Amino acid sequence: MENSAIYVRERGNLRRVSDIVLAQPKPVSSCRRTNPFVLRKENFIFTYNAEGSLRYTTKSLFDITLLFVADNIHHVDSLVGFPDQIGDRLFAAAEENRVFLNVDISSKALQLFSDAYGEMVLGSLCLRNRFPLLHERMDEIKTFHSLKCLDLFGCRLGDDHEIFQHLTSSSSLASSLMQLSIGGNRLSDVGLQRFTAPIRMLRKGLDCLQLLDVSYNPISVRALRYITCFPKLENLDVSGTSLKLGTGLKTTIWDLLGLIYSEKSLDSFDHSRCKTEGWAEQVVNQWETNNSQMPTPKKIDESRTSALHFFGRQKFVRDVLNAAPLVCESEEEAQGERLHFFRPAANSHIPEKQTPSTTTQQGKPSWHNIKKRQRQSERCDSSRQSPPTKRLPSSALTAEDLDLLNKLLNYSPL
């Protein structure tokens, strides 16, 4: 097959393909050269009958073709239009051949399946406290653009991780992601401001987000105004932050987000509800297992061996990979009060503690307050008597946002 020409028929036209290098076939045994009638074992299924005799049956042409395509999946242009049953079996064949463990082709292969089958490939991804897996497989994780639930709790993201830019720039995630957990990542007010800046400035991104977990991050009341860019937010967890429960906090969150405090812990923030689900569930587990097994070199010279023992590099790497991120400072904080907020139903009664006593619109639903805030911002804009333009009104950008925008505009890569 190495010297054979490959022809492809597309839209009734037959063309020759010369730049495709197919996967190398399995080595041929010596007896196959001398005896052309020796059976190719990969095309047969060997079983034993009741008497213990060896029997073989030929594989179907579909199975043979499926294995061939799985071996050369990185040469496939698109799977859009193929039935889900075909995609499922093709994905299983590629997984069996360990295609997704090959860093050279795994991203392209997963992108191919995600573009065609979306949520069926992976609809929910839980990376809770699995920060080595996130950093090692970042390119592959970015291909899952149809996620509805993403748990990044305790992944040590900080304020400048590239995953934040991906979440706000992916158009597919903007219309699919409904639950996001970024708690326990040492995310500050500045980091949350940067994360939400593209959404607040461009007015698009994460439009369907309903649940947000920012617990155990050093954020303050100042960060709450950055969360107002999520129009469908219904559940918010700010436990373990700098926010202290009180009438002032309840009033602020009600005025900004239209959420009220929950006396009981919400089941929606239970970790057991978020699981990795989809065709690629076992692929994610294989990544973690493969990364945890550190390869040992066959030959190490004496100087390197002594250096490794002296500096303890291998032990340091293992400790980093196996260490769980520090989320709570103490057990008291872990068992402390939960600050869960939720959006009440339109016809439910709002407790008086959620809003100031001087407010006369306590009984109205949260969407009324949101519209009221929008009308107030529009009146502020109209008072300036500026002609209508395509630019974003300046009232939507704070001085900090403008400063951040100027830094991004003035930034020039080396």
Per-residue pLDDT band for 273 (boundaries 50, 70, 90) equals: confident
**Confidence class for position 172, pLDDT limits 50, 70, 90:** confident
Which of these, 181, 126, 166, lies nearest to 327 by C-alpha position? 181
Angle between helices 247-257 and 366-383 (to 10 degrees): 70
Kindly state the average pLDDT of the residues 261-286: 90
* Element at 13 (helix H, strand E): strand 13-17
- Cα–Cα distance for residue pair 405/196, rounded to 1 Å: 12
- For residue 290, the tally of other CB atoms under 10 A from its CB is 14
Whole-angstrom CA distances from 339 to 235, 236, 246, 278, 332 are 11, 8, 11, 32, 15
Evaluate if residue 55 carries a pLDDT over 80.
no
142 vs 394 pLDDT, higher one: 142
Residue 254 and residue 260 in contact, taking contact as beta carbons nearer than 8 Å = yes
390: pLDDT strictly greater than 50 = no
What is the arithmetic mean of pLDDT over 145-167? Answer: 93
Residue among 373, 394, 350 nearest 231 (CA): 373
pLDDT of residue 204: 78
For the segment 138-161, the average pLDDT, to the nearest whole number, is 94
Return the pLDDT at 366: 46
Cβ within 8 Å of residue 45, ≥6 positions away: 56, 57, 58, 59
Sheet of 235-237, strand order: 124-126, 149-151, 179-181, 211-213, 235-237, 340-342, 260-261
* Predicted local distance difference test score (pLDDT) of residue 140: 95
Note the pLDDT tens digit of each residue in 101-117.
Answer: 999 999 999 999 999 99
pLDDT higher at 374 or 144:
144
CA–CA dist 187, 156 (Å, integer): 9
Give the amino acid at 398: T
Tokens 């063309």, residue located: 15
Strand, coil or helix: 149 = strand
Which of 203, 223, 256, 193 is closest to 405 using CA atoms? 193
CA-CA-CA-CA torsion for 348, 353, 358, 359, nearest 10 degrees?
-30
User: Residues for the chain: how many in total?
Assistant: 414
Query: Which pLDDT does position 290 carry in this prediction?
Result: 83
Residue 283's pLDDT band, with cuts at 50, 70 and 90, is very high
| pLDDT-derived band at 84, boundaries 50, 70, 90 | very high
Angle subtended at Cα 281 by Cα 314 and Cα 165, rounded to the nearest 5 degrees: 75
Tens digits of residue pLDDT in 310-330: 555 455 445 444 444 444 444
Higher pLDDT, 34 or 72: 72
Residue 44: predicted pLDDT: 65
pTM over 0.85: no
Specify the residue for token string 């809770």: 128
Closest CA to 286 of 98, 92, 8, 25: 98
User: In the chain, what are the helix, strand and coil shares in percent, each to the nearest 5?
Assistant: 45, 10, 45
Confidence of residue 194 (pLDDT cuts 50, 70, 90): very high
Q: Which of 38-52, 196-210, 298-312 has the highest mean pLDDT?
A: 196-210
The type of residue at 232 is K
DSSP 275: -
Q: What is the pLDDT of residues 213-262, one digit of tens each?
A: 999 999 999 999 999 999 999 999 999 999 999 999 999 999 999 999 99
pLDDT at 133 over 80: yes
| Choice between 33 and 172, residue whose per-residue pLDDT is larger | 172
Q: Do the beta carbons of residue 216 and residue 240 sit within 8 Å?
A: yes
